[in-house]
Chain A
Amino acid sequence: MLSIDNILETNQMIHDNKLDVRTITMGISLLECASSSGTELCNRIYDRITKEAEYLVKTGEDIERELGIPIINKRISVTPISLVAGGSDLTTYVPVAEALDKAAKAVGVNFIGGFSALVTKGATRADRILIDSIPEALATTDIVCSSVAVGSTKTGINMDAVRDIGIIIKKTAELTKENDALGCAKLVVFCNPVEDNPFMAGAFFGVTEGDSAISVGVSGPGVVKHALESVRGESFDVVAETIKRTAFKITRVGQLVAQEASRRLNKPFGIIDLSLAPTPAVGDSVAHVLEEMGLSSCGTHGTTAALALLNDAVKKGGLMASSHVGGLSGAFIPVSEDAGMIDAVSCGSLSLDKLEAMTCVCSVGLDMIAIPGDTTADTISAIIADESAIGMINNKTTAVRVIPVPGKTVGEVVEFGGLLGYAPIIEVSPYSAAEFIARGGRIPAPIRSLTN
Chain B
Amino acid sequence: MKLVVTVVGVDRVGIIAGVSTVLANHKVNILSINQTILDGLFNMIMMCETESDSTKDLTTIQEALTQLGTELGVEIRAQHADIFLAMHRVG
Contact = CB atoms under 8 A, between A and B. Distances in A.
Interface residues of B, number: 25
A67 interface: yes
Nearest to A19: B87
A11 interface: yes
A249 B83 contact: no
B80 A67 contact: yes
A178 interface: no
A178 B59 CA distance: 42
A2 B80 contact: no
Contacts of B29: none
B43 A2 contact: no
Nearest to B81: A2
A255 B89 CA distance: 13
A177 interface: no
Given A62-B55, A65-B58, A7 B38 contact: no
Interface in B43-91: 43, 45, 47, 55, 58-59, 62, 77-89
B62 A4 contact: no
Chain A binding surface, main DSSP class: helix
A7 B77 CA distance: 12
Contact of A2 (B38, B58, B78, B85): B85
A296 B36 CA distance: 37
A68 B79 CA distance: 6
Contacts of B84: 2, 6-7, 10
B58 A253 contact: no
Size bracket of the A interface: 20 to 34
B46 to A, nearest CB: 10
A379 to B, nearest CB: 46
Nearest to B77: A68
B41 to A, nearest CB: 11
B11 to A, nearest CB: 16
A402 B84 CA distance: 39
Contact of B80 (A3, A66, A252): A66
Contacts of A256: 82-83, 86
Contact of A7 (B6, B62, B86): B6
Contacts of A252: 86-87
Interface of B: 4, 6, 34, 36, 38, 43, 45, 47, 55, 58-59, 62, 77-89
5 contacts: A2-B88, A6-B84, A68-B78, A249-B87, A252-B86
Kindly list the 5 A-B residue pairs having the minimum CB-CB distance in the complex, ordered from nearest.
Answer: A68-B79, A256-B86, A6-B88, A67-B83, A66-B80
